[in-house]
Amino acid sequence: MTSKTSSPRKGGANRSGATDASDAIPLRYGDDPYVWACWLYYEDGMTQGEIADAMGVSRATVNSYLADAREKGIVNISLEPARLASLTIAQELKRHFGLADCLVVPSDDNARPLIDRLGVAGAMALQKLMKSGDTLAVSWGRTVMSVGEHADVQALQDATVVQATGGTTAAFSYTPELCAASIARAIGARCVGITAPAIVKSRELRQMLLDEPLLQEQFATLAQANRILFGISSLRPNSTIHTSRFFESVSLQDYLAAGAVGVVAGRFIDERGRPVAGPLDDRTVGISLEMLRRIGTRIAVAGGFDKVPALLAALRGGYANVLITDAATGHGILRADGVTGLDTRISQKPKLVQAPSSYRTHVKKFLNNPNEVVEEMLDGVVRAHRDYIEPINGSHRALVAKSGPRPGKVGLVIGGGTGHEPCFLGYVGKGLADAVAVGNIFSSPPPDPIVQCAVAASGGEGVLFVYGNYAGDVMNFEMAAEIAEEKGIKVRTVLTTDDIASSPIEDREGRRGVAGNFFIFKIAGAACDRGLSLDACEAVTRKANLRTYTVGVALEPCSMPQTRRHNFEIGPDDMEIGMGIHGEPGVTRERIKPADDITDAIMDNIFKEMKATAGDRVAVLINSFGATPLMELYILYRRVAQRLAAKNIEIEANWIGHYCTSLDMVGASISILHLDQELTDLLHHPCETAFLRIN
Amino acid sequence: MQTFSNANSGAIVLSLAERIIENRAYLSEIDGKIGDGDHGVNMAKGFAMAADRLKDRETTLSEALDTLGTVLMTEIGGSMGPLYGVMFTEFAEKLDGVPAIDAATYSNMLHAGLEGIQSIGSAKVGDKTLIDTLVPAVEAFDGATANGKSFDEALDALVVAAEAGRDSTRDLVAKIGRASRLGERSLGVLDAGATSCAIILKELSLGARARIA
């Protein structure tokens, strides 16, 4: 970065600003315009425009002074430790419990009671989460009431607030009616009550009440709720539950005896979040736990150390997906759930911490109709690769190689879900696969297109099915194999199981098939093309599978076109080793390391299983999961080549790029095929497909 | 003896489809915690396709179940397509030609569906799959009728057991399917298949119960 050298004097002489503008830098700043600008900005609180006037420079210059001052370390911006801790805890809570969002108020602020601070935070959440047309269910309690007192959401249209439970005695000031009314007022919503007691005398009475048209109407509104705000009560002696006399103490004892640790919207849960049955269940008028869990946005607001067990139970039970709490409570929850090392993380953070990035919940994609992505992609594929593939009977879900199948040749059928492009359809063509069955995103094709592929690929000598070892694929391909056999086509199957991170060696058959598919398909296709028998094709394909070793590492999750969301989270400093190609969480999650360290860990694993000796030959595939660029793949390849060279293992061939992806996942996999003479010959056998051509 | 009519009960399958479509986002969300998050989307697609073929038609329950099963089996793929496809076509087969469905027929139907699933999948109770919902539900139904309970009471017992079975998956470690790679990390999360199975069994049984004459 170039630093600015323009003189602050020019043009400044004639100006008269709010301060004692002068044509020279005041003595106290020496001759450093950066310090002067920073002082005016940070200490005197002037705007950049005012500073420009005072210093006699342009606004843009002031702006660059301020930016450069941070670069140069003249100004250090650090987050105050308590705030930093609360951000870290919020991030960890979100990650650990898979929450949609989490807000943690710092614990340092003793000036205001916790209830007030939680109320302010809850109000912020409402501001951010509530949209016009929403129906918000509201439970009751001191904290919920505090949210109502602090919230002020303007400009919402057609919002509805509905009581989540029936009413209670007005002996306290945070009844269900008052809470709902207060929140409704604060967000400008219509308020719908539940005009019955929260707990009635008998099951029969409850049923009679629920049969009343008025209550049915109110419950219908409750059933429409797409968001809910609720507190969480502990069952400790001093909790609201006891003091409010909401429940009779006799019944409470029953629930405590059954292991209840908390109450969510008037319902009892145990430490794992399971509903606890008891005498009040049939007498409670209000939202059930099941109904609650079906609501999209479930905002729990609660804090205080005594609530740790209840909060943990509610999080384990999945009742909340947005949590608002305080730092001490959040810390307690994480510790109670076995999260360690949090304290070091809080204190070890570098000084300059990025503020939490703006809440980006959706990933941008090129889409028309999200439900039609597969069809639209296939339309494009068929148009793009008409030289290699064509639809079978007009269906894009079953594609056959243009010059693949021929009489006397074993047919090779591959297939699987979409989202892995160029797998699988990119490997269909002469010398490789004869037909491919195409499923939905990350989801096996049904039997019908597989059967069509078998028929199209059959040249009278039998058909070989080769696909990844996933429960869904196995079921559908097995059904298809049965149907094909009924049609007189002999079918053999080889399941690919190259992902050595997915199961220990003792359970090799349980492993899943990933990017190493590429090698296994290639060998199988060459064997078929050479006119080998079905037995021989199957045998050499099995050998290729046994000698292919893959380990993948994901850095960021992929996002589904239908939801445009990540379907899981990987922490900001983490990586996931052994990540599946459908985003199945991997085997271990570790702190991210330098590329060479990651490559070494992968290669160490592969060397453990691959009994290669000096002079052996291998083929290497460095595969991107979708979003990792070639630049990084080459960095991985460099280290793989170094490691192999150190063992005097020769690289016979390599492929680097997108060969088996997982939508837009960031990450890569390394596959090694341990060659012998037969495999080497087959590897070099010519083929003509959209994504692999060897001649 | 309590029975309900097979004729004109095809509407039960339509409400089944409605429940699944309603729960599309929820099912995908729980699936996303330990799987790939597509369970709701795929289920909703298949059930909507079947509902589309059934709407505006008066069908027997067995016809409607057969349509649903066939659509799931042949057009959905994934693992849920074949599993639920087999279950519903087996259900349909056992009800086919039975004008008045009684508890014994209903039990036959449940067993046939369960056996169908077990013939293509290898999951057992405790593996954190839909089997954890289905098996206790069938057992509860049979147990209730064996104890002299009426058909409608047995259906109630089935629903309770199905939901308890679903909830039991929260404390199980996945042993099968993609989530099994997670080991202990699958603890604390409901299984999506067990959850959709509870929705299906509940809606089917409530529909039957409402029609018992």
Instruction: Report helix angle B80-95 to A471-486, nearest 10.
Output: 60
Q: Residue A557 has what pLDDT?
A: 86
Cβ atoms B162, B113 nearer than 8 A: no
How crowded is residue B98: how many other Cβ atoms within 10 Å of its Cβ?
18
Of B32, B79, B182, the CB nearest to A567: B32
DSSP one-letter code for A42: I
CB contact under 8 A, A471 and B177: yes
* Distance separating alpha carbons of residues A490 and A484, to the nearest angstrom: 7
CB contact under 8 A, B190 and A318: yes
Mean pLDDT calculated for residue range A233-262: 76
Q: How many CB pairs under 8 A join A and B?
A: 121
Q: Residue A26 has what pLDDT?
A: 77
Which range has the worst mean pLDDT, A133-137, A241-245, A326-330, A572-576? A241-245
Mutate to test the interface with B, among A282, A315, A440, A559 (most CBs of B within 10 A): A440
CA distances (Å), A140 to each of A228, A631, B41, in order? 11, 55, 34
Q: Residue A580 has what pLDDT?
A: 73
> Taking Cα atoms as reference points, which of B36, B34, B42, B45 lies closest to residue B80?
B42
Query: Over the stretch A16-74, which tens digit does the pLDDT of each residue have?
Result: 444 444 456 777 777 788 888 888 888 888 888 889 888 888 888 898 888 888 877 78
Residue with tokens 């080991």: B183
Q: Residue A145 has what pLDDT?
A: 95
pLDDT bin (cut points 50, 70, 90) of residue A250 is low
At residue A648, does pLDDT exceed 70?
yes
A564 at interface of B, judged by CB pairs closer than 8 A:
no
Which tops the pLDDT comparison, B101 or A235?
A: B101
Contacts B46 to A, Cβ<8 Å: none
Of A316, A444, A471, the CB nearest to B176: A471
Q: How far is A670 from chain B (nearest CA, A)?
A: 19
* Distance separating alpha carbons of residues A626 and A563, to the nearest angstrom: 18
How crowded is residue B148: how many other Cβ atoms within 10 Å of its Cβ?
7
Retrieve residue A541's tokens. 């394909």
Nearest CA in chain B to A581: B36
* Residue A335 identity: R
Which range has the worst mean pLDDT, A237-251, A361-375, A444-458? A237-251
* Distance separating alpha carbons of residues B163 and A167, to the nearest angstrom: 28
Q: Residue A547 has what pLDDT?
A: 98
DSSP one-letter code for A197: B
3-class secondary-structure state, position A549: strand
Retrieve residue A1's tokens. 């970065």
How crowded is residue A67: how many other Cβ atoms within 10 Å of its Cβ?
13
CB contact under 8 A, A272 and B182: no
Is the bond leading into A561 cis (omega within 30 degrees of zero)?
Answer: no
* Distance separating alpha carbons of residues A477 and A473, to the nearest angstrom: 6
CB contact under 8 A, A446 and B23: no
Contacts B30 to A, Cβ<8 Å: 318
DSSP string, A525-538: HHHHHTT--HHHHH
> Taking Cα atoms as reference points, which of B26, B11, B89, B18 lies closest to residue B47?
B18
Query: Over the stretch A177-204, which tens digit does the pLDDT of each residue have?
Result: 999 999 999 999 999 999 999 999 899 9
A450 at interface of B, judged by CB pairs closer than 8 A:
no
Residue with tokens 């016809």: B63
Helix, strand, coil shares of chain B, percent, nearest 5, are 70, 5, 25
Q: What is the dihedral of CA B56, B57, B61, B64, to 10 degrees?
A: -80
Residue B206 burial (CB < 10 Å; 0-12/13-18/19+)?
Answer: middle
CB contact under 8 A, A318 and B77: no
* Chain A residues 223-262 within an 8 A CB cutoff of chain B: none
* Residue B174 identity: A
At residue A242, does pLDDT exceed 80?
no
* Distance separating alpha carbons of residues A216 and A197, to the nearest angstrom: 14
Q: How far is A545 from chain B (nearest CA, A)?
A: 20
Q: How far is A387 from chain B (nearest CA, A)?
A: 28
Which range has the worst mean pLDDT, A18-27, A323-332, A526-535, A536-545? A18-27
Which range has the worst mean pLDDT, A280-289, A387-396, A580-589? A580-589
At residue A11, does pLDDT exceed 50?
no
> Taking Cα atoms as reference points, which of A493, A453, A455 lies closest to residue A473?
A493
Nearest CA in chain B to A562: B41
A443 at interface of B, judged by CB pairs closer than 8 A:
yes
Q: Residue A692 has what pLDDT?
A: 96
Q: What is the ipTM of this complex?
A: 0.71
Contacts B163 to A, Cβ<8 Å: 290
Per DSSP (E only), the strands in A313-384 are 322-326
Name the average pLDDT for chain A. Answer: 87
Q: Which residues on chain B place their C-beta less than 8 Å from a C-beta of chain A? A: 23, 25-26, 28, 30, 32-38, 41-42, 45, 73-83, 120-121, 163, 167, 170-171, 176-179, 181-182, 185, 188-190
DSSP one-letter code for A350: -
CB within 8 Å of A668: residues ≥ 6 apart? A552, A553, A622, A623, A624, A625, A628, A632, A633, A636
* Residue A598 identity: I
At residue A261, does pLDDT exceed 70?
yes
Residue A173 burial (CB < 10 Å; 0-12/13-18/19+)?
Answer: exposed
How crowded is residue A597: how many other Cβ atoms within 10 Å of its Cβ?
11
Cβ atoms B113, B134 nearer than 8 A: yes
- Rounded to a whole number of angstroms, the distance between the first and last alpha carbons of chain B is 9
Asked whether the whole model's pTM tops 0.90, one would answer: no
At residue A406, does pLDDT exceed 90?
yes
Residue B158 burial (CB < 10 Å; 0-12/13-18/19+)?
Answer: buried
Phi, psi of B120 (to 5 degrees): -110, -20
Per DSSP (E only), the strands in B56-114 are 100-102
Mean pLDDT calculated for residue range A431-443: 94
Query: Over the stretch A111-165, which tens digit does the pLDDT of each residue have?
Result: 678 888 899 999 989 988 898 889 999 999 999 999 999 999 888 888 999 999 9
A446 at interface of B, judged by CB pairs closer than 8 A:
yes
Which range has the worst mean pLDDT, A346-350, A364-368, A616-620, B167-171? A346-350
Q: How far is A190 from chain B (nearest CA, A)?
A: 25
Q: Residue A55 has what pLDDT?
A: 87
- Residues of A marked active site are found at 420, 582
At residue A1, does pLDDT exceed 90?
no
Question: CA angle, corner B162, sides to B157 and B163, nearest 5?
Answer: 105
3-class secondary-structure state, position B158: helix
* Distance separating alpha carbons of residues A679 and A295, to the nearest angstrom: 55
What is the percent of chain A where pLDDT is above 90? 57
> Taking Cα atoms as reference points, which of A291, A295, A301, A294 lies closest to residue A267?
A291
Contacts B189 to A, Cβ<8 Å: 318
Q: Which run of H or E residues covers position A149?
A: helix A142-150
* Distance separating alpha carbons of residues B149 and A631, to the nearest angstrom: 69
Contacts B83 to A, Cβ<8 Å: 475
* Distance separating alpha carbons of residues B129 and B197, to the nearest angstrom: 9
* Residue A120 identity: V
Mean pLDDT by 10 residues, chain B (213 residues): 93 95 84 71 90 92 96 86 94 96 97 94 87 97 96 96 95 72 72 94 96 88
pLDDT bin (cut points 50, 70, 90) of residue A504 is confident
